[in-house]
Amino acid sequence: MQLVIVESPTKARTLQGFLGSDYKILSSFGHVRDLPKSAFGVDIEHDFTPKYTLTAKGKKTVKELKEELKKADEVLISTDPDREGEAIAWHLIEALKLDGKNGKPYKRIEFHEITKSAIEEALKNPRQINAHLVNAQQARRVLDRIVGYQLSPFLWKKVAKGLSAGRVQSVAVRLIAEREREIEAFKPEEYWEIAATLKNTKNKPFKEFAAKLATVNGKTLDKLEITDESKAINIARDLENASYSVANIEKKETHKNPSGPFTTSTLQQAAWQKFHMTAKATMAVAQQLYEMGLITYHRTDSLNLSIQSLTAAQSSKPRNWPRRKKTLSNSKPSSMK
């Protein structure tokens, strides 16, 4: 039997359906080791070495995994394909003593979509732990601890108890403060725009349209040229009895392409714009969709699409494609007379 360790129980259930009875899929429930809560946990004097301990949940998880290890011939570690997932895999190897010599042999497998073909491909191409990804995650965690332990007590004293500061919050607060100073230093300039709603009395292609004043007596108006209300009112009065005609109509064929695949940032932006979902809520939903095999991995800047989904899309074209529409744009009324 081969023991497969993943991060979440939902992902474990999905994989079990693909791999069958020859595999036992178990979850680590995230990190099993972390820096201690009751101590600093970083040896600054000796190259910032972290001192890890099993988490409360990790103790129970490691105990259960060790029991299953006795029945397994090999261990496949299939945590998420990012820095955090790579670190979780490394912590599991350390906690379970999987070194391939004295302990059980292990392999690290990685896939970016939970489909049968992707999993089969991952099983054919196991790899070693990526030390660079592990070290990157450790550096972030250590930096969080160093900054947080120094700043959080300051916040408790000066602002309120229970607040936390760290690598991300500290930089974010500085960015907000700098932006606020820029806003306060901004000097507003008054300007006016003049527009007219014109109606086609002959009732031809369009009955009514909006026209923005662009020129006066043949001179092109700069955006900030009308700087006060009295000047705007005078120009508007001159326009009241003016005659208008359409000097030119430009016909264009416009094309609108679909948006590209989501990256992490564009996914969060779209979720906020359409549903006002926070980044945390968005990523929680995305994680669930990934674990159910409905989307590719969501913590990425890659625009790659699943070959399986592309093939499925190409083989099932809709019967009636929408026709391209020609639109009228840039209708230009003559300048003021």
Helix (H) or strand (E) run with residue 33 in it: strand 33-34
Q: Which of 52, 106, 290, 297 is catalytic?
A: 297
244 classed as catalytic:
no
- Among 56, 112, 103, residue whose Cα is nearest residue 80: 112
DSSP 81-97: SSHHHHHHHHHHHHHHT
The crossing angle, in degrees rounded to 10, of helices 264-275 and 279-291 is: 120
Contacts of residues 226-231 at CB distance under 8 Å and 24 or more positions apart, as own/partner, are 226/191, 226/192, 226/193, 226/194, 227/189, 227/190, 227/191, 227/192, 228/190, 228/192, 229/192, 231/192
Given a contact cutoff of 8 angstroms between Cβ atoms, the answer to whether 97 and 103 are in contact is yes
Given a contact cutoff of 8 angstroms between Cβ atoms, the answer to whether 107 and 126 are in contact is yes
Tokens 């570690």 — which residue?
77
Distance CA 5, CA 27 (A): 6
Q: Mind telling me the catalytic residues?
A: 297
